[in-house]
Homo-oligomer: A and B are copies of this chain.
Amino acid sequence: MSARISLNQATIRYADLATALHAARTVGIPAIGLWREPVAAVGIRTAAAWVAESGLRVSSLCRGGFFTDSSTTALADNRRAIEETATLAAAGAPGSAPVLVLVPGGLPNGDRDLAGARCRVRDMIAELVEDAAAAGVILAIEPMHPMYAADRGVVSTLAQALEVAEQFPPEVVGVVVDTFHIWWEPGLEAQIARAGRDGRIASYQVSDWVTPLPSDVLLARGMPGEGHIDLPAITRAVENAGYRGDVEVEIFNREFWETEPVSVAERTVKAVNATLGLGT
């Protein structure tokens, strides 16, 4: 199997941290993408100890961001997330990535100023850059599918995420390449190459686009190979751009959540091996 798969906790969302670590280890997945909520449920110190004990790499922490309200609460919470990212990456096996995934946030209630919200994302990142640099953490802006622009993420394309990221040093601000969000983007390959030139690809996340879209579009993702995305082509572009980190499988899908985690982890490994054409 590929030595670069990472199991993002969102794929087995109902599993607690211990169960998630166990599932990855059981099927031989060498890395895990962590989420703040299950980490908080056991406390950051215990979480770090368990991660160290697991021998797994940490490929990212999801998620900071939700900037568009521009509140000081959001800033304080993101600073905590930066510290957690540093702690967990330090606890992970060598090759762990101190990457904090940033979900930009949607429009504030009743606000239709999309351009203004997009500017606030940049302004809020500017506020966090010093803390991230001091902690050795990479802030990874995640462009989100335009169907989430109103209520979840106002940064809608990889090009747009790069325009923000490029205002900051590449060792502190990068981007997430998530196939589900950007597979449709015109000129995607060129944007991935652009991200690679500065070393801005902080995380590569894969899942597939299935149709018909399920009723809850937040849970609309499929296992690699089950949908319409040319995953080998995008993976090749990401590799050609110089990315050599872990490949996180992040699938929001209720059916998977209701399945026993080890079995989902097994399916994940099979799907990645059969679909991505990933270098080892």
- The chain A residues found within 8 Å of chain B, CB to CB, are 107, 112-114, 118, 145-147, 149-151, 156-157, 159-160, 183-186, 209, 211-213, 215-217, 227-230, 233
Contacts and interface: CB of A to CB of B under 8 A. Distances in A.
User: Which of A114, A146, A211 has the most chain B CB within a 10 Å cutoff?
Assistant: A146
B150 A147 contact: no
B211 A114 contact: no
A227 B254 CA distance: 28
Given A212-B151, A215-B215, A217-B213, A112 B230 contact: yes
A228 B147 contact: no
Given A183-B114, A184-B114, A227 B150 contact: yes
Contacts of A185: 146, 156
A230 to B, nearest CB: 4
What are the nearest 6 A-B pairs in CB distance? Answer: A215-B215, A149-B184, A150-B228, A112-B230, A146-B184, A147-B147
A75 B5 CA distance: 45
B157 A228 contact: no
Contacts of A209: 150
A229 B111 CA distance: 9
Contact of A211 (B112, B151, B186, B213): B151
A145 B213 CA distance: 13
Nearest to A209: B150
13 contacts: A112-B229, A112-B230, A112-B233, A113-B230, A118-B186, A146-B146, A146-B147, A146-B184, A147-B147, A149-B184, A151-B228, A156-B186, A160-B186
Nearest to A227: B150
Given A113-B230, A114-B230, A217-B217, 19 more contacts: A107-B228, A112-B230, A114-B184, A118-B186, A145-B147, A146-B184, A147-B217, A149-B183, A149-B184, A150-B184, A150-B227, A150-B228, A151-B211, A151-B212, A156-B186, A157-B186, A160-B186, A213-B217, A215-B215
